[in-house]
Structure 1
Amino acid sequence: MIGRSPLFPLSILLPFSTTTHQRLRRLLYLQQALYLVWRSTPGWTIASVGLVIVQGGLPLVSLYLTKLIIDQITNSSVQAFGSIVLLIAIAAIVALGNNLVNGFAVYVSTAQSQAVTDYVNDLLHAKSIALDLGYYENAQYYDALHQAQQQAPYRPTTILRQLIQGGQSAISLGAIALLLLSLHWAIALALFVAVLPGLVLRLKYTRRLYRKWMEWTPQERQASYLSWMLTHESYAKEVRLFNLGPLFQHRFHHLRQDIRQDKLRLARANALGDWVVQSGTTLAVFTAWGFMGYQTLRGKITLGSLVMYFQAFQQGQTYLQQVLSSLSGLYENSLFLANFYKFLNLESAVVEPSPSLAVPVPLRNGLRFERVSFSYPHRPDPVLEEVSFQIKAGETVALVGANGAGKTSLIKLLCRLYDPDRGRILLDGIDIRQFASQEFRRQISVVFQDYVHYNLTVRENIGLGKAGEIAELDEITQAAHSAGADRVIARLPQGYDTMLGNQFAEGVDLSIGEWQKIAIARAFLHPAPIVVLDEPTSALDAEAEFEVMEQFRQLTRDRTAILISHRLSTVKLADRILVLQGGRITESGSHEELMALRGTYYQMFETQAQQYRC
């Protein structure tokens, strides 16, 4: 049950360790990454592999042509100039072909990267939508999402490029190693020995970077949040009125400075080690050059062979470094991809039934809560305890109570955004956990008190209430009229095609009350048998409140309705009123019955009425 077992695997934030099991899992992540790349871009992947083979062989051809040209020049007369020109022409054609292949490889890589990035983002978005609302109550979830969003869009294509680069370099390296062995086995051995310390250094740096990156994630998110508050319209008024800008700037600078100093310390240590390794590599190059020069003076090899072997040794070092760099890069990416795949493997606590039952339509008996208890994940105190009540089909019930009494939590459970810890919720006598959640939610139309301001056109803002279907303009205008939003829309420059909000060009922002009317219109568009309004008139003036509630009375005719409001004058229209205190239902009845009871509801109503009498 949600709240009774960890929603989020803590292992995703544990320090990195190098057990055999983890090494095998990282190899699996590499395999999954390659499969992901293949699934998203099979055509481009085939093209990349073909280019690897061609690019791997061309350098050896160029080396051999260089040897032939030099030997021809040193051993021939002027009369043989024609054959020299022919060799130069062939070398030029090979070079031009190599340029063409390289240019096409860049294009293929770009196309593939864009496709894979979009595909990975689709996976992240789909997973974020599928996860329970409970995950959004967990800071660790946001850390993992931040890590996945930062790394996942480019890591799979980076792995593919590293494999391609490594494969291409390995092909060239193998050919060059055979060539150097024909000169002397020690030269080929020196080629490999000179580069190995660099691999050890890179692996050590990668492990340290990964550990630090995991530590930086919460700080990075805090810095991003501070930047958001400094730059977003939602905070602009208070930032200026309370002079919060300098405070947030100082905190942002402090967080970024800590991260920057950590990164610089890592970079300094890596630069020092890299200098030592490169110094050793340079000494190996000149030692090999000296040996080749000595062999040339003894007449063992020609001048053309000297040039060929020296270039081969230099290129061999480059190819070997690329191979080892690809291997260490694969190791690095396997570390970072672990978080991405752990994120994708998160399991929902709201489990879909298999098989599911059909949702009964129309509603005949109504809704029933049976001894429902609930607490939010990672919050020990229960929000609801042993709550039991029934709502008959076609009945309008109001929920009232102080802030934090559990009213909105009841609605979240009804919508199956969470499952109760104990007890059950029945629809026509069937536990709602036996319905497919999306099919069940289509039977409910809700306006929450924290409704969303979509920066879309008016038509789209209201039309979203009919998600998955195309809403006709007539339906949208009728919903707007029912919510009293039509007069607001009539004043907008492009009517229903006006962009709302200030995030995009030509957008028009609305007042809080006007936004609320748009949200109510969205709910009115959804022809659901169960209607829920959570503080539907909190931002409306008295006249607008009266109009909306009259429309609400019409909307809920022959429907089951739940109304949450702190304005007790609004809830008087309900057939029955439930009073919540401390997560329990303490009173139930009509307005007249509860006033006669002279209990909590009576006191709340009289307190509000007193304000109007003064």
Structure 2
Amino acid sequence: MAFLLERLKRFKQYLIYIPQVLELIWQAAHYWMAGWCILLIIQGLLPAASIFLSRALVDSLVSAAGQGMAWESLRPVMIPGIAMVGVLLAGELLGSLTTWVRTSQAELVQDYISGLVHQQSIVIDFACYESPEYSDRLERAREGASRQSLSLLESLGSLLQSTITLGAIAAILLTYGPWLPLLLVISALPALAIGLQLNMEQYQWSQRTTSDRRRLSYYEYLLTSNWTAAELRLFSWGEHFASAYQRLRRRLRREHMQLIRRQTLSRLLASAIALLLSGLAVVWMAQQLLLGLLTIGDLALFYQAFSRGQSIIKSFLSNLEEIYRNSLFISNLLEFLALKPEVIDPPNPKALPSPLQHAIEFNQVSFAYPGSDQKTLSNFSLMIPAGKITAIVGDNGAGKSTLIKLLCRFYDPTQGSIQLDGIDLRQFSTSELRRAITVLFQSPMAYYVTAGENIALGDSNTTFSQQELVKAAQGAGIHPKIMGLPQEYESQLGKWFSGGTDLSGGEWQKLSLARAFIRQAQFIILDEPTSAMDPWAEHEWLSRFRKMAYRRTALVITHRFTLARQADLIYVMKAGKIVESGNHDELLRQRGLYAQSWLAQTGELKVKV
């Protein structure tokens, strides 16, 4: 009993999620949910009505036996017979109607919950996506989020229906003795305790293996993705990753089968106990029949009531287990939806300077990524003058890409401030700030839509004319390639969909540049914008770069000194610090890191810094 009480106590902890799930489902499909509940109540009463009518039907048949086919002898049989047929037909009709209502409700709920997960994924802090713990949490939330919610609703509905049916059957059995309904309940208690324990074990195993199952998905991606196909073949990595997949899969399969075996044996034990107790009721019933205390109709009613009662008890317990199990998993979804971003807007956002008059300034900024004690930036200061092109060069790991994340307010500084015309970034609306920025990231995305749509994604809130798309493509140097595609700007890109054309790395980068330039943002940030271009394409693009950045504040992060040379101001960054600054000529005269790297890149000095 103590074991059962402990399981019930745990069960109660997770029941707090049920009202939240019901609220979600009500918001998604309240009319369908109301209709579904009404159907469940009616269906819950039909089995009891069928059992009640069976006694009258059997007794009337016994009375009519041997009296021929006269109407007077058949009439007592016809009334309960017709009523029984009506109940059966109603059950079939309501069953079909419930299926239709449940399917319609499921479609709406799936769309609604998927929308909530997608929206939360968009608004949550960028830092979450660089955290393995968050990735596990997102995976758990996504893992059948809508399916688990619907399954919980189904279980609650079945529980409601079973409760109504069980109550009606118990009322019928009470006329034969109060101990019969009690016996039904007692026979179910072992199954209830075992079921709650097994579901907790299943949930704990699922939680514990989330990272392993994500790793399986990663291995499968490596083995089947077109992005990895070339290296997989060239370096013969296929067998390595396939073996790693199978090793991990074997371990998870072994653990899961052990869990299933334990569940099967435990449920067999619970069933044996229930069968033993039901045998006592059958023995008592046989005794009452032999003593002449029950009629054949009573026997039929009792057999149906007790048999159906046991079936309903099993269904009731199964529903409780499902509610418990789904509540455990639903807790992941609700906890994910409850996450709050830390990078938020101020209560009264200030207007963004438009255009920028003076500069963007980093003032004594220190920053360490969440979960790390090592500072990427420490007391870092930098000025990006308005309307000018500023370049930052430096070795890998110097913190250059971190500057982009801070400027876009993906993160806030640990210490210090970043200011636009003397106003801290945290004083602006985050959405307004980001609308004023266009960025080409170091590894730009390849979007498998048409060429024109790819460019137009630079500002999804604006409808661009064909002329504007062409102008952006020409500025980025991708226009000739697009015009050579089968349907020009309407051509499908990528090999995922039928008729798609793939681009080279440099061509995808040019397309991303066009996407960055078509966005009429006053701040342009380019992270290694020519890294995938050949020297001829780079030279051609550089000749247009100043025109594209005219009157806009541009920040260029690059290893290419031929690109940095185009800037009005160049910063040399090393280990999170600015070590040199000036224009190209000034830095050459300083004969420091920049001068050495410039000479090395242009072949005048065979030195690698």
Report the equivalent of 2:132: 139
Kept in 2: contact 1:194–1:280 (CA 8 A): yes
Residue 607 (str. 1) matches residue 586 (str. 2): no
1:134 and 1:88 mapped to 2: Cα distance? 69
Mapping of 1:84-103 within 5 angstroms? Answer: 84-103=77-96
1:347 and 1:354 mapped to 2: Cα distance? 16
1:300 aligns with one of 271, 274, 293: 293
Report the equivalent of 2:49: 61
Kept in 2: contact 1:41–1:112 (CA 8 A): yes
Kindly report the root-mean-square deviation, in angstroms, between the aligned alpha carbons of the 2 structures: 1.9
Shift of 1:304: 1.3
Residue 187 (str. 1) matches residue 171 (str. 2): no
Change (3 A) 1:447 1:251: same
Report the equivalent of 2:18: 30
Kept in 1: contact 2:369–2:376 (CA 8 A): yes
Q: Which amino acid aligns with 2:354?
A: V
Residue 110 (str. 1) matches residue 103 (str. 2): yes
Shift of 1:28: 2.5
> Which has the larger displacement, 327-336 or 361-370?
327-336
Report the equivalent of 2:419: 426
Kept in 2: contact 1:34–1:159 (CA 8 A): no
> Helix, strand or coil for the counterpart of 1:220?
helix
2:464 and 2:278 mapped to 1: Cα distance? 72
2:131 and 2:302 mapped to 1: Cα distance? 61
Report the equivalent of 1:156: 149
Report the equivalent of 2:508: 515
- The Cα offsets for residues 15-41 of structure 1, whole Å up to 9 and x where unpaired, read as xxx899987662321111111111111
Q: Which amino acid aligns with 2:156?
A: L
1:552 and 1:448 mapped to 2: Cα distance? 17
Residue 50 (str. 1) matches residue 34 (str. 2): no
Q: Which amino acid aligns with 1:261?
A: R
Mapping of 1:485-564 within 5 angstroms? Answer: 485-564=478-557
- The Cα offsets for residues 67-112 of structure 1, whole Å up to 9 and x where unpaired, read as 2221111012222224424432332222111011011112222222
2:58 aligns with one of 70, 83, 87: 70
Report the equivalent of 2:260: 267
Shift of 1:612: 9.8
> Helix, strand or coil for the counterpart of 1:234?
coil
Kept in 2: contact 1:229–1:235 (CA 8 A): yes
Structure 2's unaligned 5+ residue stretches are: 1-5
Q: Which amino acid aligns with 1:255?
A: L
Mapping of 1:411-490 within 5 angstroms? Answer: 411-490=404-483
Kept in 1: contact 2:450–2:490 (CA 8 A): yes
Report the equivalent of 1:326: 319
Kept in 1: contact 2:599–2:605 (CA 8 A): no
Change (3 A) 1:182 1:582: same
- The Cα offsets for residues 342-370 of structure 1, whole Å up to 9 and x where unpaired, read as 21222223122112112121111121110
Q: Which amino acid aligns with 1:343?
A: F
Kept in 2: contact 1:151–1:337 (CA 8 A): no
1:474 and 1:466 mapped to 2: Cα distance? 15
Report the equivalent of 2:242: 249
Q: Which amino acid aligns with 1:564?
A: I
Residue 373 (str. 1) matches residue 361 (str. 2): no
Shift of 1:452: 0.4
Shift of 1:269: 1.2
Mapping of 1:303-318 within 5 angstroms? Answer: 303-318=296-311
> Helix, strand or coil for the counterpart of 1:376?
coil
2:524 and 2:262 mapped to 1: Cα distance? 63
Structure 2 length as normaliser, TM-score?
0.95
Shift of 1:473: 2.4
Q: Which amino acid aligns with 1:221?
A: R
Shift of 1:118: 1.8
2:431 and 2:134 mapped to 1: Cα distance? 23
Report the equivalent of 1:289: 282
Report the equivalent of 2:210: 217
- The Cα offsets for residues 307-362 of structure 1, whole Å up to 9 and x where unpaired, read as 11110111111112222222222222222222222212222231221121121211
Shift of 1:611: 7.0
Kept in 2: contact 1:393–1:560 (CA 8 A): yes
Residue 349 (str. 1) matches residue 342 (str. 2): yes
Residue 409 (str. 1) matches residue 402 (str. 2): yes
- The Cα offsets for residues 415-456 of structure 1, whole Å up to 9 and x where unpaired, read as 111111111110111101111111101111111111100111
Kept in 1: contact 2:419–2:425 (CA 8 A): yes
2:593 and 2:604 mapped to 1: Cα distance? 17
1:476 and 1:28 mapped to 2: Cα distance? 53
Shift of 1:458: 1.0
Kept in 2: contact 1:137–1:377 (CA 8 A): no
Report the equivalent of 1:41: 29
Report the equivalent of 1:10: none
Change (3 A) 1:611 1:448: farther
Change (3 A) 1:258 1:611: farther
> Helix, strand or coil for the counterpart of 2:228?
helix
> Which has the larger displacement, 583-592 or 253-262?
253-262
Change (3 A) 1:489 1:431: same
Q: Which amino acid aligns with 2:56?
A: L
1:148 and 1:58 mapped to 2: Cα distance? 38
1:255 and 1:165 mapped to 2: Cα distance? 37
Residue 119 (str. 1) matches residue 108 (str. 2): no
Q: Which amino acid aligns with 2:597?
A: M
Mapping of 1:225-236 within 5 angstroms? Answer: 225-236=218-229
Residue 201 (str. 1) matches residue 194 (str. 2): yes
Shift of 1:59: 0.8
Percent identical:
37
- The Cα offsets for residues 548-580 of structure 1, whole Å up to 9 and x where unpaired, read as 222221111111111111110111111110000
Shift of 1:525: 0.6
Q: Which amino acid aligns with 1:480?
A: A
2:604 and 2:411 mapped to 1: Cα distance? 38
1:221 and 1:197 mapped to 2: Cα distance? 36
Report the equivalent of 2:564: 571
2:482 and 2:362 mapped to 1: Cα distance? 40
> Helix, strand or coil for the counterpart of 2:602?
helix
Change (3 A) 1:418 1:483: same
> Helix, strand or coil for the counterpart of 1:364?
coil
- The Cα offsets for residues 496-553 of structure 1, whole Å up to 9 and x where unpaired, read as 1111111122211110111011100001110111111111111112222122222221
> Helix, strand or coil for the counterpart of 1:115?
helix
2:287 and 2:9 mapped to 1: Cα distance? 51
Q: Which amino acid aligns with 1:355?
A: N
1:434 and 1:92 mapped to 2: Cα distance? 73
> Helix, strand or coil for the counterpart of 1:84?
helix
Shift of 1:62: 1.2
Kept in 1: contact 2:7–2:197 (CA 8 A): no
Kept in 2: contact 1:482–1:548 (CA 8 A): yes
1:84 and 1:22 mapped to 2: Cα distance? 52
2:257 and 2:464 mapped to 1: Cα distance? 55
Shift of 1:165: 0.5
Dislocated runs of 4+, deviation >6 Å: 18-24, 611-614
